[in-house]
Structure 1
Amino acid sequence: MFKRCGCRSPETGRQLGARCALLAEVGHGRWYFAVQVDGVDGRRVRVRRGGFATRAEAERACWELLRLPGPEAVGRMWTVRRWLEFWLSECAGRLRPSTLRSYQTIVHQHLIPQLGLERLSKLRTKMVQRAMDRICRTRVRGGRLIAAGTVGRIRAVLRSALNEARRQGLVGTNAAWRLRLPNGARPHAVVWDDERVEAWQRTGIRPAVAVWDVAHLARFLEAVRGDRLFALWWLVGLRGPRRGELAGLCWSDVDLPGRRVTIREQVVVVGGTEYLGPPKSAAGVRVLALDEASVEVLWELWRAQKAQRGRAPEPRDRVFLHANGRPVRPDWLTRRFAALVKELGLPPVRLHDLRHGAASLAGAAGVPLKVIQHDMGHASCVTTADTYWTVFRQAAQAAVTATAELLLSHARIRLSLDGAAQA
């Protein structure tokens, strides 16, 4: 137990605290206590509280705190900021580097500025709701409101952090539940048809997510036939692997006689540092079948690397390399692809949009949805269907034709239409 006040030294301007000579007087200053309790990580944590008018009040509050379990006592003292920073440090060994970087950005840019000063144990749903409402009014680059999907990710990070706080016994309920947030419609990919190309050339405005049609993709592949990364562009456009998966592909993962490629690793770049790890999800570990043309393209690449090195590529050598033999990086692939698209004057698409196009092209060709899900590495076919289905006109035309044939299979309708045609 100790007593201190807010008086300041006339010479330095600093608070005197417990050194003030007037503390012996009744009513001057406030009482504080400091105790140590068991923290969430098993270590002893010093807890200090104050602002009590009398020593008796401070002692009573101290004994009430000591009767609580250690984590609950810590929860009453820690701020949301302190817990979020501790939670991020605990997540460092469990999350992928790119995911951890995303969590850190959300915590430091949104959650700590809005809720960082609140006591963890006093956090309530209405407080979190007001904070999320303020975040929803945030303006981002270009003066646009923050996207609803971003707001959803912010809520998801906060909910995960508070779930862990609840498991640790720091809070009794998760204040991030039952929030009212704007419903953001996921942008669906559309195809660059003549009408959209003409509108883009006239206004400069492009769809949020757009893919090339077959003619655009064929034109691109024909133009980059002599590029040293032609095999990479070919595989992305036809089979749709992620850019990081191709950057991490080794020759040991390529079975040309068996006409298949195994996706087991991917490269991610965080803060300029390259990390090699498993794919985005468990479903990302998969085997992609290859057609004869793809096998021949990869054989050409293998022979070219053998001629350049004077020896056959080793099994652990990367498949896609720069001219100096250094492996390509995902971020460089994105920039290289954007430069090629601009140089060729094609409608703008991202490298990831080639992946969208590959899935949509497979759907238009009649490939079953479950097979497309496997090839894309999606954990659920719902994601595949929501993102890629009925993009190309061929798929839409096939769907309406099948529906009409089902309807016309009814005899009366068929006879009625036949009669109308004769009339």
Structure 2
Amino acid sequence: MQRNEPGKVWDGAQLKTFLDATKAHRLSAFFHLAAYTGARRGELLNLRWRDIDLDGKQITIAGSAAFVAGERIEGTTKSGRSRVVSIDADTIQTIKSHRQRQNADRLAAGDEWKDAENKENGHVFTTAWGEPIHPDTVSSLMASLTARHNKTNPSEALPLARLHDLRHIHATTLLLAGVPVHVVAARLGHADPSITLRVYAHVINEQLVEAADIFARQIAAA
């Protein structure tokens, strides 16, 4: 079966539809951050509250989490380096709302809460009883939330997308908006911008086609 090019599953309007449809879910912030930062699944599941600087409008991607042979393993990012990613005002509000939800879960769980006693060392995304989330959980959740939306809103049905496609949408949207490749590469955590160029060659080619007309318009307007 032929696969869609990276970033071509949903457009911006469809992404907004999905995020609006998931707002009531306790993990809605996970999908928002995935789309608005381009972070990988394991990177977000490793995220701690100490990694978020709301005043500085940024988060630090310091590591990644995965399950190997049934055991949770936390290590470095894919590139082996941490990175700082800027966040916008709506994302800040989304994070604040998520923390309120998590605090409510913590109070409800009481002594049964499983995550770190020091809240700053705690994971940003946990189960309702404070355990780290399995990566497969958020992947399957995205599919089920999309299916639920499509069932109740058939006129606005969304194509089935993978969780990793949110990362592709982030990169594609920035590149088509003219954000330099090296900036996009830094946000994605690519070790070298050449990786970004290779993965998103179809987007770069679209810009190359338009380059001649852009140049002509700029000169004509001078």
1:306 Cα deviation after fit? 2.4
Match of 1:338 among 119, 143, 148: 143
Q: Which residue of 1 aligns with 2:94?
A: 297
Give the % identical residues: 35
2:115 aligned with 1:317: no
Q: Deviations over 1:309-337 (max 9, x none)?
A: 34997111110112222221212211111
Letter of the structure 2 residue corresponding to residue 337 of structure 1: M
Q: Does 1:263 align with 2:75?
A: no
For 1:257 and 1:297, the matched residues in 2 are separated by 14
Q: TM-score, normalised by structure 2?
A: 0.82
- Structure 1 residue 250 and structure 2 residue 67: aligned? no
Structure 1, unpaired ranges of 5+: 1-141, 143-185, 192-210, 412-423
**Per-residue deviation, residues 97-121 of structure 1 (Å, max 9, x unmatched):** xxxxxxxxxxxxxxxxxxxxxxxxx
Give runs of aligned pairs for residues 80-99 of structure 1, distance below 5 A.
Answer: none
Runs of at least 5 residues in structure 2 that lack an aligned partner in the other structure: 111-116, 151-157
Structure 2 vs 1, CA of residues 404 and 278 (structure 1 numbering), >3 Å: closer, same or farther? same
Change (3 A) 1:339 1:371: same
Residue among 307, 320, 336 paired with 2:104:
307
Residues 1:189 and 2:1 aligned together? no
2:165 aligned with 1:368? no
Q: Are the equivalent residues in 2 in contact too, given 1:265–1:276 (CA < 8 A)?
A: yes
Q: Which residue of 1 aligns with 2:134?
A: 329
- Determine if the alignment matches structure 1 residue 239 to structure 2 residue 45: no
Q: Larger deviation: 300-309 or 266-275?
A: 300-309
Match of 2:160 among 326, 348, 351: 348
SS in 2 for 1:305: helix
Q: Is 1:379 matched with 2:191?
A: yes
What are the within-5 Å matches in structure 2 for residues 15-414 of structure 1?
188-189=5-6, 191=8, 211-283=9-81, 285-310=82-107, 314-345=119-150, 346-391=158-203, 396=206, 399-406=208-215
Tell me the secondary structure at the aligned position of residue 174 of structure 2: helix
- Per the TM alignment, residue 289 of structure 1 is displaced from its structure 2 partner at its CA by 0.7
**Equivalent residue letter for 1:288:** V
RMSD: 2.7
Query: Would you say the 8 A contact 1:190–1:391 is kept in 2?
Result: no
Q: Distance in 1 between matches of 2:29 and 2:67?
A: 22
Deviations 1:366-415 (A, max 9, x none): 221111000000011111112125449xx93x65443124357899xxxx
Aligned residues: 204
Cα 1:234–1:389 change in 2 (3 A) is farther
Q: Secondary structure at the match of 1:359?
A: helix
Shift in CA distance, 231/408, structure 1 to aligned 2, threshold 3 Å: closer
- Go from structure 1 to structure 2 and tell me whether the alpha carbon gap of 1:379 and 1:325 turns closer, same or farther (over 3 Å shift): same
Whole-angstrom CA distance in 1 between matches of 2:210 and 2:91: 32
Tell me by how many angstroms 1:229 deviates: 0.8
Kindly name which structure, 1 or 2, has the bigger radius of gyration based on alpha carbons.
Answer: 1
Shift of 1:364: 1.8
Contact 1:360 1:389 (C-alpha < 8 Å) held by counterparts:
no
